[in-house]
């Protein structure tokens, strides 16, 4: 019994630990439920070779060659024409907003040139902010297009390589396909998400654990005052993080910054505000700091995987995209990539701003409803 190891002592420790584990229902549930949930969620949702990507078609003359081309592209499985008759301006706006991954432009003289056997050209613009999205779709292009057109025009017609129709591919916003261009701005969102939510998730649980909550509640502070008092200081910390990441993006990673800094900072502000309130909401639910921590990670993992940060958003099944839409990070990624890499202006990113604003309001209302004014 007095040696360095006793099975009785070990058993006492094991029994005590398993009782405590069982009593902490939330933790226990998360340990059992989360792996299963996440396995299903991410196993089906994540797709590194995204197919059926949304595309816009700009074809003033919708002739048989255009139709043949479109059908051939859709048959590859990579393209899904959600705007089959867009104007050039519409297509430009859609690609800037990220609504489509491709804009295919068939010039009005395309058909005539093929018939005359005179250097027909087709323009495909790809949103290359996420290089991995476009790569598969682009790599199949030339063979598909050539085959489709030769079928349509008659085999012999296009055999001369020098006069065959050519496909011009523009990798927009990131012509060299540099992964950092996509990842580094996104990292700002991910870093903010992790730190902001985690810090504010402790806000109320710390008061409860230290026993100061009873005192706080016995004094005349309103729930709104307490919430703002808890989250506003972290906006300052968020500002420091934003400055650090943006400077590093510019200096270390030489990420181009073509948009408006003011607009970006406004977007970051709304995003950080949504995050600190999300954290605060967690702290109204969690009873202990440990639970707050677990809930933070419970939100963090889907944000990482379903927001379009690690895997192409449009490549996920539709249900996963809907799930992604309810994560603030998804909207922030669209916003920051649009502004930094695409130089998007206010009308283009207004949708993302509105979405983030809705998060702020909804999360704040939920927090105020959840806040326990009494010790009940």
Partner 1 sequence: MTEPAISVHDLTKSFGDKTVVDHVSMDVARGEIMGFLGPNGSGKTTTIRLMCGLLEPDSGDGRVLGLDIRRDRRAIKRRVGYMTQKFSFYEDLSIEENLRFVAGLYGMADVRRVVADTLEDLGLTSRRRQLAGSLSGGWKQRLALAACIMHHPDLLILDEPTAGVDPKARREFWDEIHARATGGLTVLVSTHYMDEAERCHRIGYISYGRLVATGAVAEVVRDAGLTTLIITGADTAEAARQLRGAPGVDQVAPFGTTLHVVGRDAEALRRTVDEVARRTGTTAAPAETSLEDVFIQLMAESRDNMA
Q: Where does this chain bind partner 1 (CB under 8 A)?
A: 210-215, 217-222, 373-376
Q: Which is nearer to partner 1, 25 or 151 (CB)?
A: 25
Concatenate the DSSP letters of all residues of 276-310 into one string: HHHHHHHHHH-SSHHHHHHHHHHHHHHHHHHSSSS
Nearer to partner 1, 223 or 357 (CB): 223
Of 270, 213, 268, residue with least CA distance to 241? 268
Min dist CB 372 to partner 1, Å, is 10
Q: Please, what is the minimum distance in Å from the beta carbon of residue 102 to partner 1?
A: 56
112 or 370, CB closer to partner 1?
370
User: Is there a contact between 197 and 300 (Cβ–Cβ < 8 Å)?
Assistant: yes
Taking the least distance from each CB to partner 1, the nearer of 2 and 215 is 215
Least gap, CB of 18 to partner 1 (angstroms): 24
User: Rounded to the nearest whole angstrom, what is the least distance from the CB of residue 367 to partner 1 in the complex?
Assistant: 19
What phi and psi values does residue 154 have, to the nearest 5 degrees? 95, 130
The SS3 of residue 354 is: helix
Query: Closest approach of Cβ 229 to partner 1, in Å?
Result: 10
Residue among 216 and 354 whose Cβ is closer to partner 1 = 216
In the complex, least distance from residue 215 CB atom to partner 1, rounded to whole angstroms? 4
Give the tokens for residue 200: 């504010």
* Packed helices 261-285 and 328-342: angle between N→C axes, nearest 10 degrees: 170
Smallest gap from residue 202 Cβ to partner 1 (A): 14
Of 157 and 370, nearer to partner 1 (C-beta) is 370
79 secondary structure, DSSP code: E
**Identity of the residue, 156 or 376, whose beta carbon is nearer to partner 1 in the bound complex:** 376
**How many Å separate Cα 143 from the centre of its chain?**
32
- Nearest approach in angstroms of CB 19 to partner 1 is 20
Helices in the chain by DSSP H: which ranges? 7-23, 25-45, 64-75, 88-97, 110-116, 131-139, 141-153, 179-201, 203-210, 213-218, 223-251, 261-285, 289-306, 318-325, 328-342, 346-370
d(CA 16, CA 18) in angstroms, rounded, equals 6
Environment class of 75 (CB within 10 Å of its CB; exposed 0-12, middle 13-18, buried 19+): exposed
2 versus 218: smaller Cβ distance to partner 1? 218
């Amino acid at each position: 019994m007095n040696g360095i190891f006793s099975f009785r002592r070990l058993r006492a420790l094991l029994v005590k630990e398993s009782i405590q584990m069982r009593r902490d229902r939330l933790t226990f549930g998360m340990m059992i439920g989360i792996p299963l949930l996440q396995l299903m969620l991410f196993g089906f949702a994540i797709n590194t070779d995204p197919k059926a990507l949304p595309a816009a078609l700009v074809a003033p003359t919708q002739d048989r060659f255009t139709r043949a081309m479109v059908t051939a592209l859709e048959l590859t499985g990579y393209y899904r024409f959600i705007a089959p008759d867009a104007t050039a301006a519409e297509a430009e706006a859609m690609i800037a907003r990220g609504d489509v991954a491709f804009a295919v432009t068939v010039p009005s003289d395309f058909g005539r040139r093929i018939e005359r056997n005179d250097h027909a050209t087709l323009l495909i613009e790809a949103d290359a902010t996420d290089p991995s999205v476009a790569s598969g779709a682009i790599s199949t292009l030339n063979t598909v297009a050539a085959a489709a057109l030769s079928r349509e025009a008659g085999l012999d017609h296009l055999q001369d390589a020098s006069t065959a129709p050519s496909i011009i591919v523009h990798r927009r916003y990131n012509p060299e396909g540099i992964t950092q261009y996509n990842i580094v701005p996104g990292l700002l969102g991910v870093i903010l998400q992790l730190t902001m939510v985690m810090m504010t998730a402790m806000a109320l649980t710390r008061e409860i654990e230290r026993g100061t909550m009873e005192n706080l509640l016995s004094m005349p502070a309103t729930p709104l005052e307490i919430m703002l008092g808890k989250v506003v200081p972290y906006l300052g910390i968020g500002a420091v993080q934003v400055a650090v990441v943006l400077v590093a993006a510019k200096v270390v990673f030489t990420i181009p910054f073509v948009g408006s800094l003011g607009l970006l900072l406004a977007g970051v502000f709304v995003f950080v505000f949504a995050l600190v309130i999300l954290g605060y909401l967690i702290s109204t639910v969690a009873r202990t700091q440990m639970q707050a921590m677990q809930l933070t990670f419970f939100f963090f993992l889907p944000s990482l995987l379903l927001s379009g940060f690690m895997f192409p958003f449009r490549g996920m099944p539709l249900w996963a995209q809907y799930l992604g839409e309810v994560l603030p990070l998804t909207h922030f990624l669209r916003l920051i990539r649009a502004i930094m890499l695409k130089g998007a202006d206010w009308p283009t990113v207004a949708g993302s701003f509105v979405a983030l604003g809705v998060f702020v309001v909804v999360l704040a209302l939920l927090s105020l409803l959840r806040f326990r004014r009494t010790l009940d």
